[in-house]
Structures are given as C-alpha cells and as structure tokens.
Structure 1
Amino acid sequence: MELNFESWMTDLERFATWEEEWIKQNQALAEISDRNHNVIEQLLQSGETIQLELGAGSEQCREGWTTVDMFPGCDLQLDLREPLPFPDESISMIYSSHVLEHFAYPQPMKICCQSVTGYSKKWDF
C-alpha cells in the first residue's frame, strides 16, 4: 500500500483544525456554564420572586423576569431539553410562548416545570 503524503497532510490539518475548534467550543461551554451558575446563584440569594420566560430569545422581557434560551443574548443560556438547574419549588412563575411546538416530546418539560415551581395540580400546555 502506497502512502500518499498529500492526503496524509490534509488529514493532519483537518484533525488539527477540528481539535482547535473542539477546544474553543469546550471553553465557550465552560464560560456559559460559569455565567449560568453565577446568575442562578444571584437569583436564589436575592430572596426575590424568580420568574422565568422560557424560549425568550435575545429580546427583552417584562421587568422582573429572567429570560432563558439556548441562544446568546438572554439571561440564562440553557438547553430546554435538559432539566432546569434550579432547586425544587424555587421558581414562582414560568412563561413560555410558541416554544413547545419545537419539542418532539414536551412531557419531560412539563414535569421539570412542575418540579421547580412546586405546582403539580394543573398545567395547561
């Protein structure tokens, strides 16, 4: 089997680029995680009512609400397919508009919302 030097160099360059991108992505995720942790700690320690707007995008919401979305520009950058990183019964109110239709299975989100708010009797989705 003949070794093709050009092909080998191309593969090596591609790997080096991939590794650099992977490192950048992990650094960005760590920064997002640290920022989210700080925002959540501030919310919990403030003693004020915590109200979340899920799927808010980068637009400003009503005063007193914390915006949550997976895209930059919101207060908390979270993947809504994962459980909300708040203690049980720590959220007073959750608002979301035009978000659930993007989920194949919205039931886990409903369960998560019930857990962090403490309201389990009635949820209209």
Structure 2
Amino acid sequence: MSFLRRVFLGTGRLPDDARARLTAEGLVHLAEELPGSVRYRGYRAPGTRRSGAVDATTGALVITRQRLVVWLSAGEQKGKHIDVPLRGGRPEGIAVRAEGGRIILGYDPARFHPDRSGHVEVHLRTPDAARIAALLGGTP
C-alpha cells in the first residue's frame, strides 16, 4: 500500500481486539489493506443525503464460520461497516458479486437501520474476489 494512501485512508487493518474476537469464531477468510470505495445511490439517513457519492477507503474483509464483517479505515462510515450473520453460508441481506478484481457487497441500509434508505455498495480490490464471492454464495 502506498504511503499517501495509508496517510489519507488508513491502514485497512482490523484492530487487535476485533481480530482476536473474529479469530475465536473460526476464520474462513481474512483480507486486510484492501483499497476500495463506498458508493451511495439515493442514500438518506438523518441529516444526510447522498446520491451518486463515492468515498475512497481502505478496508478489511473477514469471513468466519458465523458471519461476514467488513471494517473500513476511512470515509463517512469508517469502523465496522458490515457485520451480518451467515445463513446457509450466505450473508443475510447482502448481495455479493465479483467484478474485475473487486468484491462488491451491496445492500439496502433500511434493512439494518429503519431510518435510512437507498442503496450502498462497498467495492474492495482483491485478487481473491472470485473466491470470496464463491465462499459467500455470490456471483464469481
């Protein structure tokens, strides 16, 4: 990761306490320092409206036997951005696909927060995008 990206967007690494908790659940896949973006379409939250906005970020993606977690180091929603249980190996409420070396996780924020609406996609660059999509039952 480049020096400037790290300075402006963070490391994209999990905090040690989060890593320990997730490791205890049984890691299936862990990827850190992934450059990417968060894209908003028709997004509304209390005091916020974003349509067509794109935030650059760096993040980590973790799949355990129980859940999917995406941690972001920069942007409006930095920190634990996605934390959903897996049902039948698929993340509940998250559409997963691989596209051009990126894993794309899309969702309707109203499903998790009743005061929000629109559509949000997290795009993270990784050479393992197709494998991650297959692990999560998405489109490789």
The answer to whether the superposition gives a TM-score over 0.5 is no
Q: Highest Rg: 1 or 2?
A: 1
TM-score by length of 1: 0.28
Between Structure 1 and Structure 2, which shows a larger proportion of strand residues?
A: 2
Instruction: With a CA cutoff of 8 Å and minimum separation of 6, indicate the structure with the bigger relative contact order.
Output: 2
